[in-house]
Chain A
Amino acid sequence: MGFGYFITIGIIVGIYIILTLSLNIISGYTGQASLGHAAFFGIGAYASALLTLKLGLNFWTALPLAMLAAGIIGAGVGIISLRIKGDFLAVTTIGINFVIVSVFEYSDFFGGAYGISGIQFPELFGLKISKAYYLILVFVFVFLTALFCRLISKSWLGLALETIRENEDAAEASGINCKKFKILAFAIGCALAGLAGVLYAHFIRFITPIDFAFPISITIVSMMVVGGIGTIRGGILGALLMAALPEILRPLANYRLLFYGGLIVLIARFQPQGLFGENPFLFRKIFARSLPSAQREKSGVSGGRK
């Protein structure tokens, strides 16, 4: 295991952080189930691959266009979410994931089951960059994504999204256009998943439909849920923990989905706000003894979703 290996893991972790934070906008803030987020990861990757290979665009031009493509198709899912809710939306998004992967797999335009190879590693100011610089580039985007999420959560938009999660009738009665903001949440979240796809495609340089299949969607959901749904630090730490763990515990790799599934069940049962979310179990255990009782009561009131 060389230095390059850790750089590769670092890049993959960074891409998963962006994916988790982007899903968090849809599911965490807005409360809309999405079990097909990998599809938009794939749309970003394929769009960027095709734009650079077939149209000869460079990485920096293809990146916003690929995000736009993922965002527009995401907005389409947002429109669907206006009609179906809860579990039905979750099942529908699974279907969307399968449909989009099938389109990649059965159409020659997208390279069929063999995928697309020969994708260019990006250049910066006309110079080829090394893998280590790519890691830095990825984490610049991670930082920008986290900053953007923070901007949202501190803004009127973030408040509007949260009210939709809490109660749509009351949100409408408070003058909030639920339809508009739901579509917007899907568009933003999916465009950011597209960004992750672009970063992935130009790093791996060979993409196949299976890279964006349903299990990847589940992986993203588990990262979000384990880390702490609705919070930025939860998204980051969840992705970090769950993307790095299977690499460290190599023998577990074949049972990764089983491990993720079991973890989601345990988290949902014992720690619904996630390991690093609001008022988490870990923090409680560590700080419970050092806090005076009055303060402890207060933290019990402010934290944790029922």
Chain B
Amino acid sequence: MSAILRTEKLSKFFGGLRALQNLDLEVRANEILGMIGPNGAGKTTFFNTVCGVYAADGGRVYLEGNEITGMPTHRIARLGVGRTFQIVKPFMNLSVERNILSALGKDRMKGVSPALLGVGLEKSREEVRRLLRLVGIEGSIAQAARTLTLGHQKRMEIARALALKPKLLMLDEPFAGLSQEEIRPLVGVIKGLKAEGITILLIEHNVPFVMEVCDRLVVLNFGEKLCEGTPQEVRRDRRVIEAYLGS
């Protein structure tokens, strides 16, 4: 299987803190890779470094074999890395529709002159509706994003990331803060995305759902890769148990 995302000895330091150390990682085409690890293991730092929010202090990042290390965030997004945030970041005062449109317009907003025109805004509305249907919130299309529940805001963020037509979708704790009743349908949404051929990397603490959703898991601890494998393999790994519970 070919790698959608590959990192080579990726490192990120915050002063003396080694948030990521020589991390080699591969996300394969059309898999759901789960990234787990105790708090402070470097999971979100990994997301931010891949997306260009942080500049890497060492190593390289490849998207489908092309190096994207050091590119600005918006360029990486346009190349096909969609992401959500651990603490949701919707465009609160814009309608759900405009939230999604913002990412759909990535090619129109490249230059200055095409951006000045509303060309394609109308046409894109159909696509917005399709994406919202995919995450199951098409009924909220006209509402301001701030009026949605947290669960629906999280789904909207997924739809916004999908609007980039991503080669890789990175979900940062998609289930955090949600009730069991909210998680269940979201699991269905994520499985549905895989069925559509989308490759997903997700960070999650909710172990039962991680085991259910993910094809493979990678475990981080103190910025290093502890182990990786199928959920069953990882569950049996003594190092994982020690990392979480202490030896």
The answer to whether A and B belong to the same complex is yes
Chain A residues with CB under 8 Å of chain B are 151-152, 154-157, 159-160, 162-163, 166-167, 169-178, 180-181, 184, 301-302, 305-306
Q: Mark B97-117, 1 if CB is under 8 A from A, else 0.
A: 010011101101100101111
B54 to chain A, nearest CB (A): 12
Given A171-B91, A173-B51, 16 extra CB contacts under 8 A: A154-B118, A156-B109, A156-B120, A157-B109, A163-B91, A166-B93, A166-B94, A170-B85, A173-B74, A175-B164, A177-B72, A177-B109, A181-B109, A184-B112, A301-B144, A301-B147
For A301, list chain B residues within 8 Å (CB). 143-144, 147
Verify B146–A177 contact, CB threshold 8 A. Answer: no
Verify B92–A155 contact, CB threshold 8 A. Answer: no
Verify B77–A174 contact, CB threshold 8 A. Answer: yes
In the bound assembly, the distance between CA atoms of A155 and B77 in angstroms comes to: 21
Q: Nearest chain-B residue to A305 (Cβ)?
A: B93
Q: List 28 A-B contacts (CB under 8 A).
A: A155-B117, A156-B109, A156-B114, A157-B116, A159-B102, A160-B102, A162-B93, A163-B94, A166-B91, A166-B92, A170-B89, A170-B91, A171-B91, A172-B77, A173-B77, A173-B82, A173-B89, A174-B102, A175-B77, A176-B74, A176-B102, A176-B106, A176-B109, A181-B109, A184-B112, A302-B142, A305-B93, A306-B92
For A155, list chain B residues within 8 Å (CB). 115-118, 121
For A184, list chain B residues within 8 Å (CB). 112
Interface residue count on the B side (C-beta < 8 Å): 41
Verify A174–B160 contact, CB threshold 8 A. Answer: yes
Verify A154–B93 contact, CB threshold 8 A. Answer: no
Verify A174–B164 contact, CB threshold 8 A. Answer: yes
In the bound assembly, the distance between CA atoms of A172 and B106 in angstroms comes to: 10
Verify A173–B78 contact, CB threshold 8 A. Answer: no
Q: Which of A166, A167, A175, A302 is close to B109, meaning CB atoms less than 8 Å apart? A: A175
B73 adjacent to chain A (CB < 8 Å): yes
Q: Nearest chain-B residue to A167 (Cβ)?
A: B89
Verify A174–B144 contact, CB threshold 8 A. Answer: no
Q: Nearest chain-B residue to A157 (Cβ)?
A: B115
B53 adjacent to chain A (CB < 8 Å): yes
B49 to chain A, nearest CB (A): 14
In the bound assembly, the distance between CA atoms of A156 and B85 in angstroms comes to: 24
Q: Mark B161-195, 1 if CB is under 8 A from A, else 0.
A: 10110000000000000000000000000000000
For B112, list chain A residues within 8 Å (CB). 157, 180, 184
Q: Nearest chain-B residue to A31 (Cβ)?
A: B93
Q: With A169-B89, A176-B109 given, is the CB distance from A163 to B74 under 8 Å?
A: no
Verify B73–A156 contact, CB threshold 8 A. Answer: no
For B223, list chain A residues within 8 Å (CB). none
Q: With A163-B102, A169-B85 given, is the CB distance from A175 to B78 under 8 Å?
A: yes
Q: Nearest chain-B residue to A278 (Cβ)?
A: B93
B83 adjacent to chain A (CB < 8 Å): yes
In the bound assembly, the distance between CA atoms of A166 and B89 in angstroms comes to: 9
